[in-house]
A = this chain, B = another copy of it.
Amino acid sequence: MSALRRNTDYGVYLVTDRTLCRGRALADVVAAAVAGGVTVVQLREKHVDTREFVELARALKGLLAPRDVPLLINDRVDVALACGADGVHVGQGDMHPADVRALLGHTALVGLSVETMEQVREAEALDVDYLGVSPVFATSTKTDTAPPWGLDGLARLRVATECTLVAIGGIGAANAEQVLRAGADGLAVVSALCAADDPQRAAEELRGAVRSVRGW
């Protein structure tokens, strides 16, 4: 396993959504959130041409590399390869994680969304770095989601698997500590950062929750 894979901290994991940035440039929102303590960034674009997707990804990679913050690309291995991203996050309908691993190699980060316990069991046989527990709470950001895991489901999952768990869906400062205490290793957030009045301050609050629960 690579140093990147051993040492990545998923504590405050920003998933981008340009439509939620309220007219601000995505790079500005990401830079502010990183200044506030974001530890991983995932670029998610569902309705953009590949050429623009690559341009966005390269811009973010240029922003994040000097700050030592890993960049993951949602779904698209081609975009990740073209921009030199650190890894890819896939959902159950995206490229199979085994194919992603084969294309990206053993040093890259590969994450997988899991919506059911059966998917968790399947994931344990795969060479993935973390599971995206999706959704923890109901959320308006994604409407095609499975029933929420809830804090109880997250806690059951924590007991059932050794995998790194990144919770996503309806997470913000108000419930961050609960989610972490239920067993999440990291908090993936979309609107709580992208739509925040002050993305840096919002990231600082989430980072504070992570530090508080971890005790460091």
Seen from chain A, the residues whose Cβ lies within 8 Å of a Cβ on chain B are: 49-52, 54, 75-79, 81-82, 90, 92-96, 99, 102-103
- In the assembled complex, the CB of A144 is this many whole angstroms from the nearest CB of chain B, namely 11
Complex Cα spacing A25 to B54, Å: 33
Other A-B contacts than A77-B78, A78-B103, 19 sampled, CB-CB below 8 A, are: A49-B93, A50-B75, A50-B90, A50-B93, A50-B94, A50-B95, A51-B95, A52-B93, A54-B95, A54-B99, A76-B78, A77-B82, A78-B78, A78-B81, A78-B95, A79-B95, A81-B103, A82-B99, A82-B102
CA distance A79 to B75 in the complex (A): 11
Q: Are A82 and B54 in contact (CB under 8 A)?
A: no
Residue from A50, A54, A75, A94 having most chain B Cβ neighbours under 10 A? A50
- Complex alpha-carbon distance, A67 and B52, angstroms: 36
Complex interface: chain B residues within 8 A of A77 (CB): 78, 81-82
| A51 partner, pick from B49, B79, B94, B102, beta carbons under 8 A | B94
Alpha-carbon separation in the docked complex, A39 to B75 (Å): 32
Once the chains are docked, how many angstroms separate the CA of A50 from the CA of B89? 13
Complex: A103 Cα to B76 Cα, angstroms: 13
Q: A78-B77, A81-B77, A81-B103 are in contact. Are A96 and B49 (CB under 8 A)?
A: no
Closest residue on chain B to residue A58 by CB atoms? B99
Q: In whole angstroms, how far apart are the Cα atoms of A102 and B78 in the complex?
A: 11
Closest chain B CB from A198 CB (angstroms)? 35
